[in-house]
Structure 1
Amino acid sequence: AIALQADTYERTFETVAREWIVSNAHWSEYYTNQVTSYLEKDVFPRIGKLPISSIRAPHLRPIIKDVAARGAKTVAILIRQWCGQIFSYAAAQGLCEFDPAALLKGLVKRPQVRHNPPLTWAEIPDFLNRVDNEGGYQTTVLALKLMALTYVRTVELRKASWEEFDLDNAMWSIPSERMKMRRPHLVPLSRQAVAALRELHALTGGGKVLFPSYRKPGQVMSATTLNQALKRMGYGGRFSSHGFRSTATTILGLLGYPEKRVDLQLAHSKKSKDSSRAPYDHTKFVESRKVIMQDWADILDSLQAGKPVEGVTKAFGPMSKRRTALLRVIERE
């Protein structure tokens, strides 16, 4: 019992917190760095050296309140949640008996999240034309086009390497360690996406990554580059690079495309009933997803060319020849 007390006393909050971070090996590198950075900045300097068993709610309250006071309410809420998970991890090892962070739930009210809305039908033609004319460096223009054509997450495109692409077979294979849900993801490439990638390859194909940083050799394009380009184009505050995903979801939904296939292509996190199938979900319905991705690229071309909504609906809607072709592929899957 004395040995256990000594071990418990020596295990500081910071020591246990770092063990907890290591234990979450399924996290993405980005998320791991985010958690570590905030704990190192806001939590460890205040309570890191205290034995974890000695920490109470009054220790945590000022930390959370101070973070919220600087305008980072979402971060304050995350810190409370992370601390709660750290105490749960410690309790499972017999290092503490309760979670003081649980007493502070609701201390900071969650701010209303203002998601940048998707582009509307009417906004897409002007947007695509402005990308061509006002997008900046050609690599930035091509990045924005590829975001629109593939509707992947921004970080998935920014950090992409050429070895992930098979342009001859029009397929992009994103490894699990680069995905938010830590599962590999397949992105069928439309003819337009392949053309953009071949153009990009002539510019950056001599290196490892698609979008190297011009200012920092050895690094990739920064997270702000695309949003800064959108801001210059006049879309600051009302559309972000992440908005391509909601734009595709909205328009494909309005045209009646199968939600399950679109969700798979978005790589949304939906719990699989059969967990043994989860690692292979990225291969499901690939043939029909190829058709949808080509349809999506052709829809964007049609809108950019000025085709009215009625014409696009007729060409790609539920009663179109394109939809009949898609349904035939789905029947075979």
Structure 2
Amino acid sequence: MHRSSFLTPSRLAGRRALVAMATGTLVLGAAACGSSDGGSSGASGGGAEKVGVSLITKDSTNPFFVAMQKGAKADADKNNVTLTVASGKQEGDDAGQITAIEDAIARGDKGVLITPMSNGVNAAMKKARDAGLYVIALDTPPDPADTVDITFATDNRAAGKLDGQWAAGQLAGKPAVIALLDLFNDKIVSVDYNRDQGFLEGMGIDVKDPKKNGDEDKTGKYTGGKGGDYTIVCNEPGNGAEDGGRTAMEKCLSKNPDINLVYTINEPTAVGANAALKAQGKTALIVSVDGGCAGVKSVTDGVIGATAQQYPLKMATLGMEAIAKIARGGEKPKVSPGLDFYNTGVALVTDKKVDGVDSISSADAAKICWGN
């Protein structure tokens, strides 16, 4: 399945109903952004003076970040923005992001949009704010949240919970032998612990420290669905990549070949996990988070049982519009009620519905997905 990596205004207009269905009702606060559906209204583009904005992603290869970059580039002219795109070399490259932030300061940009690699870039983001730049985190809320001016992101805890609730419903009381394929084991990243811990909470498994992966009891009872016994075999880092997911899954299978449920931090990791399972003649329920077109196709094909769909284009375009508007004297955006970030929505994508768990089909998700 091939789809454009970003939505033109005409395509976006035709998909608003589906986006509204998928993301639910979003409370936007006093919007500094011109559109609530992720498209550009052009409201920010009236200023004669160009506004410099830097978009700094974790890497430039993951389809999620590629889509974010392409969407931002397509929308920059409408907001009269001079956009500079940069990234780390790969997941974990704090130094690359720090250099890009320092370059934005030196260039005199008005703002920075960043998917923070880890807490290791907090000091650099604070330096940018101290220099007068408006800093917006995308996708990955920093810890603490007030390290940046505001975050535009998926509710990653909610995304994980949807995966866990679906998995518990699918198991229907059978024992759960679980592999948790996280992002890192040597860095603290909010998206990492929120998705992992949210998944466990959705399964009905008690977590200890909600901001720490791997400290929960390794055996016990899950209470989601019909409830049953669980065993957590492993917490292995896949670094958000397909090869990392395969290696992590191989390590988990070496510990226990009877794994029947795999949580993955993202869809490239899920694809790698499936390859490892397939190589050993095994199958398992796989859940993930992303909702890119490739991941949605994996749901259609039965590789991934369910994935929580995010909206990276919305994060990037709303963030860019906000900086452009603020630079021209407009209002600052506000967080969603009850949260410390601006919620850009999430929808569970599956073709095997579970009673009591809201979801959309892979066919509907394919109409609003991103990437190739």
Report TM bin, short chain.
under 0.3
Q: Scaled by the length of structure 1, what TM-score is found?
A: 0.27
Larger Rg: 1
Q: Scaled by the length of structure 2, what TM-score is found?
A: 0.25
Bigger strand fraction: 2
